[in-house]
Amino acid sequence: MKILVCISHVPDTTSKINFTDNDTKFDTNGVQFVINPYDEFVLTRAMWFKEKQGASVTVVNVGSALTEPTLRKALAIGADDAIRVNAEPIDGMSVAKEIAEVSKNGGYDLVLAGKESSDYNGQMVPGMVAAMLGFNFVNGCVGMEVDGNNVTATREIDGGSESLVTTLPLVVGGQKGIVEESDLRIPNMRGIMMARKKPLNVVEPTSSENATSSQSFEKPAPKGAVKLVDADNIDELINLLHNKAKVI
């Protein structure tokens, strides 16, 4: 089984979010970039398929050379090789096109991605890749097993979960549950040393045709100060929620 894992390069979850150039660009000043947390779950699942079922694991990112440390980290966690498509990601559609092209050229059976990236949260790329390749698609995946070409998967639904059967070739948008938080791996020194020697191939984009584009950013309106209510005066809280906030 040949697995392609999509790796998005995103601001660390604790980053302060600011915008520059008249609110048209994300301010990367002082921001640490990491592997998208959702992608880390599926990468860890891919490692399990590699160790238990002999799968090969390639990681891919669409981005500038600045994303290479993030790909090296994925290699240090255990991926066999990495591909960077040398293009600034513009929107979900253009990124999906590049990943679909990489997948086609490499003949992958299983494409794993986090269901969303923690920067744009669009949940677009995995489904678009599946539709472009004509692969089956499971989103919000919280568990999966592969036996030959047959796949059983569980996805999160509103208020519970749904069991699914499908077949390879397949794209999966995964989230916590596909592995648990405690299964995530921190690269060790040996992994980091080995990652330096693993291939990281840079390929040029095939097309940069995008369907949407970012015009500007906004921050949420600043919040007023919290209104504190005395613990002995629950009636006041109920009054505020009913008459002022009108939520009960």
- Min separation Cβ 147 and other proteins, Å: 15
* DSSP reduced 3-state for 150: strand
Q: Which residue, 54 or 160, is less far from other proteins as judged by CB?
A: 160
Q: In this chain, which of 34, 85, 87, 130 binds other proteins, going by CB under 8 A?
A: 130
Q: What is the DSSP letter of 198?
A: S
138 lines the binding site for other proteins (CB under 8 A)? yes
30 touches other proteins (CB under 8 A): no
**Interacting positions 192-221 with other proteins (CB under 8 A):** 210-220
The one among 13, 22, 29, 32 contacting other proteins by CB under 8 A: 13
- Judged by phi (left if over 0) then psi (alpha if -120 to 50, else beta), residue 8 lies in beta
Strand partners, 202: 84
**Is 208 in a helix, a strand, or coil?**
coil
What is the C-alpha separation between 137 and 146, in angstroms, rounded? Answer: 14
Q: Judged by CB under 8 A, which of 30, 107, 160, 222 binds other proteins?
A: 160
Query: What does each C-alpha distance from 134 to 85, 104, 137, 170, 171 come to in angstroms?
Result: 21, 11, 9, 9, 10
Position among 147, 159, 222, 243 found at the interface with other proteins (CB under 8 A): 159
Q: Which stretch binds other proteins (CB under 8 A): 48-56, 105-113, 197-205, 227-235?
A: 227-235
- Sorted by sequence, the CB contacts under 8 Å of residue 133 that are 6+ apart come out as 100, 103, 104, 111, 169, 171
**Phi-psi group of 111: left, alpha or beta (phi > 0 → left; psi -120 to 50 → alpha; rest → beta):** beta
Size of the site for other proteins (CB under 8 A): 81
Q: Which is nearer to other proteins, 192 or 229 (CB)?
A: 229
For other proteins, which residue of 165, 189, 197, 204 counts as binding (CB under 8 A)? Answer: 165
Site string for other proteins, 89-128 (x = CB under 8 A): --xxx--x------------------x--xxxxxxxxxxx
Residue 47 CB, shortest distance to other proteins, in Å, is: 19
Rounded distance between C-alpha atoms, residue 79 and residue 68, angstroms: 14
Q: Which residues inside 51-90 make contact with other proteins, applying CB under 8 A?
A: none
